[in-house]
Structure 1
């Protein structure tokens, strides 16, 4: 029997007027990822990257990227604003088999590549990683479009003048011609002072906490 979360999400898909399509399944998705290698726009690592990379490759081979991107935007909205859906995908009690069936119902009307991807996540017990995988996939899309992701962590809120200076420094020092910057700012009082900067796969630790740790290690 379909869970309440699946019913809610499936109803939302119908309201959006998406035409129903059959489920390709995990084997079809895996087969798409096993063919001739596709060059990724940026090298990402970790569990979420493994699934995001496979989805990106499958989209490139099937030429379904625009359609899948729309599907993922819908899934992102559900995973952030639909408490029932969030609770469902993170519920460890529901069996993998039931989640495979439910995701088949939920994804009716979505692209076959998207449906196969969701089936793989459900079969592997990784639906709880969905939000992270979606974020990682967005990094791949941005990299393909020349958008460089950067995150600045400060001990306190930065002024607009400080932000402009940081943006200018990153753009002139780390971006190639034709690239644009997508800068995010986080506040973490634990770094005491200074900054931590993540630019793509580069990490610069300019925090006071890091300097203090370095001194402590030297003394030890």
Structure 2
């Protein structure tokens, strides 16, 4: 099993280091939900009267889909109010609490709960936890629009923004078995070269037996897929194509 991983790892290193890297990257665009209103309206709902409206906040990375819009709006509002670290801590604490409380987790996923009940519950939670106005307003908007069941995805994307704000790039490495320490080190060094100075790479390994072998690496909204599963599908498509004997 280690041989296919090593082979895929070596090939991945060559691709990442190649001069034509930009032409071999494919953007990952996942639209998870269709939002009820636009990103600019999210920002308006999350803003407070103390915000400087003329201040322009540039997102460190571009996110896609409805959950990306929510996360971007939260980042923009928190950044404008200079409470990004506090908001980050609050929403992460909330998600950790949901993991430890089956009842709360079920509440977030239950679409049958009336909007006014959702908002009331969220306001009570925010008040008891002494959350900032930005976090409180954000959760109220999410609850009002019936998107609490997407909260984990929104917070995960918000984390991508806060990490990028700190100059940290998260790379997710997917293999059938854990990547050996030396190969992980080499991959991290390669990614660091690709990303350049001023940023720090953080590698997260994930195990997925369904890829059959090889390696997949996802970072900065891009995906390098060198898994055996993908190669097998490509081969299957090739074999299904009719042979052109005239070209021989």
Match in the other structure for 1:216: 236
CA-to-aligned-CA distance 1:44-87 (integer Å, 9 cap, x gap): 11222111000011112222223212211321221222222111
What is the deviation of 1:166?
A: 1.8
Contact 2:168 2:201 (C-alpha < 8 Å) held by counterparts: yes
Specify the alignment match of 1:15 in structure 2.
Answer: none
Q: In structure 1, which of residues 107, 113, 122 is the aligned counterpart of residue 143 of structure 2?
A: 122
Q: CA deviation at 1:163?
A: 1.5
How many Å apart are 1:152 and its aligned residue?
0.7
| TM-score, length basis structure 1 | 0.81
- How far is 1:123 from its partner? 0.5
How far off its partner does 1:182 sit?
1.2
Partner secondary structure for residue 157 of structure 1: coil
Q: Is the contact between residue 75 and residue 158 of structure 2 (CA under 8 Å) also seen in structure 1?
A: yes
Q: Higher RCO, 1 or 2 (CA under 8 Å, sep at least 6)? A: 2
Structure index of larger Rg: 2
Per the TM alignment, residue 107 of structure 1 is displaced from its structure 2 partner at its CA by: 0.4
What CA RMSD, in Å, does the superposition of the two structures yield over aligned residues?
A: 2.1
- CA 1:28–1:197: 2 relative to 1, 3 Å: closer
1:50 aligns with 2:69: yes
Is 2:200 the counterpart of 1:180?
A: yes
Gaps of 5+ in 2: 1-42, 241-248
- What is the 5 A alignment of 1:143-158? 143-158=164-179
SS of the equivalent of 2:225 reads strand
**Structure 1: unaligned runs, 5 residues or longer:** 1-25
Deviates more, 1:90-99 or 1:63-72: 63-72
Paired residue for 2:132? 111
Change (3 A) 1:67 1:28: same
Give the structure 2 partner of residue 162 of structure 1.
183
**Distance in 2 of aligned mates of 1:141 and 1:93:** 32
Q: Tell me if structure 1 keeps the 8 A contact 2:175–2:213.
A: yes
Does structure 1 conserve the Cα–Cα contact (< 8 Å) formed by 2:214 and 2:227? yes
SS of equivalent to 1:63: coil
Answer yes or no: is the 8 Å Cα contact 2:88–2:162 preserved in 1.
Answer: no
Please give the alpha-carbon distance, in whole angstroms, between the structure 2 residues aligned to 1:184 and 1:27.
35
1:148-207 alpha-carbon deviations (Å, 9 max, x no partner):
0110111222222222222222222x2210211111111111111110110111110111
Whether the 8 Å CA contact 1:79–1:131 is kept in 2: the answer is no
Q: TM-score, normalised by structure 2?
A: 0.72
Is 1:74 the equivalent of 2:93?
yes
